[in-house]
Structures are given as C-alpha cells and as structure tokens.
Amino acid sequence: MNAPFARPAGAAPAQPAAPRALADAVEKVRQAVVDAFAGDGALAGAVPGFRERASQREMALAVFEAVVQRSTLAAEAGTGTGKTMAYLVPVLLAGGKVLISAGTKTLQDQIFDKDLPAVCRALGVRVETAILKGRQNYVCRLRLERTQDSGMLGSLDEVRALQHVVRFARVSTSGDRAELAEVPEGAAIWPAVTSTRDNCLGTECAHFENCFVVRARRRALAADVVVVNHHLLMADMALREETDSELLPNADVVIVDEAHHLTRIAADFFGQGWSLQQMTELGADVLRIGLQAARDGAPWPELVRAMETAARAVRLALSESGVPLRARAAYERLARSAAVPLAIAALGQSLGALQAALQQNQGREAELDLLVPRIERLRALMAPWERAAAPAGADVPLPEVVQWVSTSAHGAQFHATPLSCAEAFARAREERQQAWILTSATLTTQQRFDPFLLELGLTDATALRWDSPFDFARQALLYLPTPMPNPQSEDFAELVAEAAWPVVQASRGRAFILCSTLRAVARVSARLRELMRESGDVLPLLVQGDASRRSMLEEFRRQGNAVLVGSVSFWEGIDVRGDALSVVVIDKLPFAPPDDPIVAARIRQLQAQGRNAFRDFQLPHAVTLLRQGVGRLIRDDSDRGILMILDERLLSRSYGKTILASLPPFARTRSQAEACAFLAVAAAAG
Ligand code: SF4
C-alpha cells in the first residue's frame, strides 16, 4: 500500500531535506480525509445511509494526527458517530501497515466482511486485507487426520461432528471453524481437530505448506490491513514479552475498537493458568500417539489412567474445600488447608511419571516428542499451586498476582491474574513505535478518561470524546418508577417483572430486560410468564439459555413483539435498529460482586496504595457496563424508546449522580403514565 509519509516501524526518522515535501504530503492527505466526509464526498456517494457529521470528521482528523505523530489516541465516540469509518478513512488514506483489533469475533467479521471493503470501494483505495484469528479457530489437518485414524471418539455426536469437519477441511479455503455451522462452537470434537502452541509440529508437519493456520498467517504478513481480535492482539503482546517471538506482523498503526474490553483481556493474557481440561486433552493425546507410535514403549493406558485419577482427586478436593459448582474462588483461602495443594502435587507427580515414559521413547515420533515440553510447561505452571498458603492474618506482602480457581461440572481452571497490566502494556507499546488508536462508545466515567488510561498505563495518550449525535432528550425517556423496588429485598426479581410489565405491555413487547445475574433472569422471566397468563396478554418471551444468543436475537427481530430477558452477555455488542426494540429495562446497577477474587484483590491493592477503590475501579467499571446496556436502545436517528432502571441507589446514593451524569442526556420521568404516553406518541409517529 502506498505510504506517502508513514515511515516503516523502527525505521530512521525522515532526512532533514524532506520536511517540506513531507509536510505537503501530510497536508494533502489531511485534506483528502476532510473531503471524504463532506456531504458530497466519497463516502456520501458510496455508503448507503451516510450522513455528514462533524463529530465523525473531527474524530477522523484526530486519528490522522495520531498516525502522523505515531502517538496514542483514546477516542470515545458515542453511538451513531460512525467511529469505524472515522478510523478506517484516515488510516487507509495515510498508508502503511495497519492492524485493527475488534473486541469480539462478531465485530471482527463485520469489519472484515463489510466495513473495510465498503470504505475501500468508496475511497477507491486498493489494499491487501486479511483476517486472522487465534490458531484454535482453524482446523488442524494433522490432528484431524490422527483423530480419524485413531477411532477413539467417545460418542455418536462426536463421530458425526468429525465427518462434518472432514468434509469441511476438504473444500474450505480458510479452515475457519466459524464457517462450519453444523458443528457448534462448544462441540467436544474441536480440541481434537484444532491445534495449540503446544501440540503443533510447525515446520516438521507434513501438512505445513497446506496448513490453514500457516496460510492465514502468511496472508496476514503480506497484507496491508489485518483484522484481528483482542485475544490475538494480547496473545501477541504477551508472547513478545515472554519469548521475543511474535504472532502478528509489525504494523505502523494499531487500532483497538471496543477498547473498553482491553483491560480484562490483557489481564488474562499477561497472566498464566492451567486447567483440568488440559489434563484430559493431554491424556487423550498421549493415548492416541503412544499407542500409534510406541505401543511397546510404556504402559500408556495405565499411566494416563493414573493421571486422570489424580486430576479427578483435585476436582474432589476443591468440592470438599467448599468451592461450589460454577464459582470463582480465591486460592489463598483454599491453600491454607493442605488438601488442594496436596492433590495438585500428586497430579504433578503423575505427570512426572508420564514425562519419564515419554522421555524413554524420545526420537520415535515427532508428535510423541512434543508431549515432553508440553508436560514440562504444565508442571512449571502447576508448581506454585502445590504450596500451602500462609495462615490467615500472617504478615505477608500483597501479591502482584491473584491466584484464583473457577469450577465447572467436572473441571476446574487455575488462574494467576496480574492485578495491573499497565506496566507490561506500556512496555509493549514502547518497544514498537506505532500509532495506537483506542476507541469505544464507553471509555469514560462522567466524561473523565483517567480510570481507563491508568489501568492501561496510557499516561502519554491524547484523550478526546464526541457525544452521540442522537437527540436523546427527544428520542428517549429515562423512566425511574416510584417507588423503586429495594435491590436487597428477597422478592426483588419478581418486583422488577411487576414494575416492567405495564411498560412492556404498552410497547407491545419490543423489550429487553437486562438482569445482573442468571438467577435473576430465571426469576424475572418466570414472574413475567405468570403476569402474561394472568392478564391474558401473552407476548413471545425469549429467555437466555433457551437457545443460542444469535438465534434468540434473530427470533427477537423476526417476532417484532417479543420480550427478551438476558444477563450480562446481552448488555453489549447487540444492534437492534428500528421498531423491534423500544424498551430496555435494567434491574440493578452492574457493580461487580466485591467477593469475586479479582475484584476483591484489586480493591485491597488500591486501598493499600491509598486510593479510593470504589471511585477509581468499581464505579468506572459499573458505569461502562451500564452505558453499554443503555446503548442498546437508540441505534439510529429515527429510534425512539424508554430506558427503565429499577435500582433505587441511582437516586438515594451520592454516586448515583455520577452515574446519571455519565448517561446520555435523556428526558426523565418517574410517572408510569408518562412513560406509557411516550410510547404511544412514538408508536403513532412511527
Ligand atoms: S502445522 Fe501445526 S496447525 Fe498446521 S496442520 Fe501441522 S500440526 Fe496442524
């Protein structure tokens, strides 16, 4: 791609003779950016529904300045600003290599399949583009072949899924499992037919030249614009920090869309962890490869059985130590009694026996050899978990990393999450002299960027925000009913359903009810069902968990009068335009539970630093999530709707003012009659 002024990352600064020509080139591109957003510009002529907006043009110019200066820009752009075009236009016109990272795979696909081609067409810019996901998203030809040969699948469902994957791998050009609708994302077959860093043979693999992962990475290396997701971006940063190797090409500009997700994802990747699921996968690989390549080399089934028994003992020790199912628990308390560390140590010993057997067979088969470093890494990750913790009240310094456990029906994950990734993130940015654009509709709390910037160590960033262009005072009404149910009361969920029902009825469904927990989802929907039956006014009720998120949303749009009750996963990234969505009900202010291991450790750490944990951490995170939930309501100039928040702390607590000041400038009412009248007027206007 032509780069009129962008110098390659790491290259020497421009020579003194060039400043004039460089300045002219910069000015020319700056003008092209302005022209593209004009009412009669390139975008207006080519992008359906394009409207000239000053905020969008201003953001594009701010992005352009950051690209020219190779600086960092944090840009909050309210819903409807058109931030995707506001960053695509300047970076495409400026040239150079660009990495765009999306918060979710859905947004990643949308940018790659729709937005990027549309803007390139409109600007008449020809660039090579590529999409790259984590390796676990691509079918691994070697593991697919081995799984077919082994005949060791556990169920008929897995056999059927395997047949689908085999057919898909024959015809697919990408090998991206998202294109295989017949095999759902969580299907048990995937770990057996995709690769990890630990089990990929790399250049020694017979399929290397035809490998989906290798081909996707080569396309990304050759492309001018590469669309990735935050998981891959952070995995790349963490890998560079750890080993000096890299997953992603070096870019001149890195754009992070939905940047409010970044701190959470960064913490995962700059942290470390292991799981009992990894033991199951390891056992399956040892059995398959051992029996195929070195049947006489060791008693593989016995060794694997011993390891699996030790893994089950760890799960049992967690239950007996009081960790409930599907819970997150701090490890510190568990490790005070010896049971869990001892069980983990025994698991480590069984892994040691496996490792010794594999070492005795080294050189017989490349895949078998690869199992040794894989076990070594696992044992190194497990080692800190084998030690008992100091007794309660002992004077130990606050750790920088919090150890915690999450449980599922038969499994458990062990995480070591850094309490701050600011330093690691700042180091990674410093090493590569790139422009960084971090953007989202929700980066600030009461228009202030500090909590977001501090968490990522972005002390040198320019921070700018643009309000949504929508007329919230006219298009939307914030309804805070009177009286508000008390969030502490036993029947709060039922009271939420009862308070919401008259408004939902008045809008003829077309409502999202967003709850803070899955338990609340079940109770609110149960009470709503009763209310519908009692009133004889039965509307389609879609409840999270009844179907996949995608099919629930399709159904919601198709029905046109449905009520959807969901929890946190429905608060973000959902775009229902027009009449289909007219009411958003939020049960509680979405504060993270203070007993969550990461939240509790972060609070302790901030308090130890003399900072106000509520103001600097808990409140900003709740505001971000609330603003995301609120953002579902008005997605277009013509949308109209009611936001109903049922948490009386919004009015009774002093922080309620901060939260209200962080929301768009809605008109407000406490009267149910006014809320219903607003809906009637909106329906008549529509
Ligand atoms: S190179 Fe790695 S990912 Fe590709 S087919 Fe071989 S083992 Fe699988």
pLDDT at 396: 61
pLDDT of residue 406: 95
Of 348 and 242, the one with more pLDDT: 348
Mean pLDDT rounded to a whole number for the chain: 90
pLDDT of residue 12: 47
User: Among residues of the chain, what percentage have pLDDT more than 90?
Assistant: 66
Substitution site in 205, 217, 285 for ligand 1 pocket (most atoms within 8 Å of beta carbon): 205
Separation between Cα atoms, residue 663 and residue 446, nearest integer Å:
8
The pLDDT of residue 245 is 73
pLDDT digits (tens, 9 = 90+) for 177-194: 988 988 887 788 999 999
**Tokens (6 digits) for 681:** 């007027």
Look at ligand 1, atom 3, and give the residue with the nearest C-alpha: 140
State the CB neighbour count (10 A cutoff) for residue 256.
23
Least confident of 445-454, 456-465, 562-571: 562-571
pLDDT score for 10: 44
Q: pLDDT per residue over 562-594, tens digit each?
A: 999 998 777 776 677 777 889 999 999 999 888
Please report the atom of ligand 1 found closest to the CA of residue 208: 1
Q: Does any ligand 1 atom lie closer than 6 A to the CB of residue 198?
A: no
pLDDT band at 389 (very low <50, low <70, confident <90, very high): low
Parallel, antiparallel or unpaired: strands 541-543 and 476-479: unpaired
Q: For residue 363, is pLDDT > 90?
A: yes
Confidence of residue 628 (pLDDT cuts 50, 70, 90): confident
CB 101 within 8 A of CB 228: yes
Q: What single-letter DSSP state applies at residue 448?
A: B
288 vs 246, higher pLDDT = 288
CA-to-CA distance for 403 and 486, rounded, in angstroms?
Answer: 34
Instruction: Express as a percent the part of the chain with pLDDT over 70.
Output: 95
Q: Which of 305-319, 522-536, 543-557 has the lowest mean pLDDT?
A: 543-557
The pLDDT of residue 228: 96
pLDDT at 624 over 60: yes
19, burial (CB in 10 Å: exposed 0-12, middle 13-18, buried 19+): exposed
CA of 369 to the centre of ligand 1 (A): 15
Smallest CA separation from ligand 1 atom 2, residue? 200
Per the listing, tokens 């009267």 go with 671
* CB distance 240 to ligand 1 below 6 Å: no
Tell me: pLDDT of 270 over 90: no
Atom of ligand 1 nearest to the CA of 214: 4
Cβ neighbour number for residue 340 with a 10 Å cutoff: 27
Least confident among 28-42, 150-164, 196-210, 409-423: 150-164
**Exposure string over 632-645, b if 16+ CB within 10 A, otherwise e:** bbbbeeebbbbbbb
Cα–ligand 1 centroid distance for 13 (angstroms): 40
Question: Please, are residues 250 and 10 in contact by the beta-carbon 8 Å criterion?
Answer: yes
State yes or no: pLDDT of 11 exceeds 50.
no
User: Measuring from atom 7 of ligand 1, which residue has the nearest CA?
Assistant: 200
**What's the mean pLDDT in 59-73?**
96
State the pLDDT at residue 392: 63
pLDDT score of 627 more than 60? yes
Ligand 1 atom 6, closest CA: 205
What is the predicted pLDDT for the residue at 393? Answer: 64
By most ligand atoms within 8 Å of CB, the mutation choice from 138, 141, 215 for ligand 1 is 141
Residue 239 CA, ligand 1 centroid: distance in Å:
19
Å from CA of 140 to ligand 1 middle: 5
Q: How far is the CA of 212 from the centre of ligand 1 (A)?
A: 8
What is the distance of C-alpha 339 from the center of its chain? 34
